[in-house]
Structure 1
Amino acid sequence: MPSGLILALAAGLAIGAPALAQDAAPAPARALAPSDADINTAADAFRTQVEAMNAEVRAAVQAAGSSRRRASARVEEVLARYQPGFESFAVQLEAWFSRRAAAAATDEARASIVQTGAASVARVRGVPDQVRAGLAQQARSAPEQPRNTQPSTGY
């Protein structure tokens, strides 16, 4: 499971957001755009959600035993619970980056903020797909155990 990758993403967003805030000139806050403090709080919450989700995914995979189908179904249940929070954070990031881009002092700074924002939002929205890809990679590296089709002898 690529939990290290997901945690790195969360940490990178939490660290990168304040750095970008320093690059752009201050601008009046728009009604729906979160403040720098709000986005830092949201990034911390996102990181906490990712850590909790990773623990649940690991538990779901372990509980499924050798059944890939059961593991996949359980992981999908976990992802479905966390998806709304991830989407909410992605929307907040979009608004925050838009506000920062609008306040950028130069076209070059604006372009950089827009590019970084698009990549960051895509990474947040891509967390479920990263988890699925990690599960698929894990399945390829550990073939499913054959099912016992022999009747039990009771011993």
Structure 2
Amino acid sequence: TGDHSDDHPDLQMLNWAACLHELGISVAHAGYHKHSAYIVGNADMPGFSRMDQSRLARIVLAHRGKLEKVNSASADTRDWSLILCLRLAVLLHRSREDFNELPLTIERTGSGYQLGARAEWLSASPLTTASLNDEQRLWGVIGIDLKLRTPRHTAGVIR
């Protein structure tokens, strides 16, 4: 048998979080991420340990809004990567359009993460660029660096 990267437990957790993150919309649009996390954290979910269910709820909760709400919940270090991936997926898929090619790359650094994006794509996507700048600020608040790099910009805020 070959190595199936999608069988990795963290990727399975990310997939489940992606499938369930909007569950709370059925309760209310306002604060739906909180409703989603509550449902995921408290539902009977055969096959999930309480620890895995709690972890999944934490990732779902963190997909939107301030990150401080999960920073104090002693999120596993590897969870930050899953949270970032889910947050970026939600941010990029906001218009529900599919991409032929993903516009961002992600790299783990010693103090956080580095995103790569073409300057042309950022210029053509001003709302997404503004959201990425907001993400940089939100991650900085919890002490995790999130840098956005382009061939024309070496680091920092893209304007």
TM-score normalised according to structure 2 size: 0.26
**Counting strand residues as a fraction of each chain, which structure ranks higher?**
2
**Counting helix residues as a fraction of each chain, which structure ranks higher?**
1
- Structure with max Cα Rg: 1
TM-score normalised according to structure 1 size: 0.27
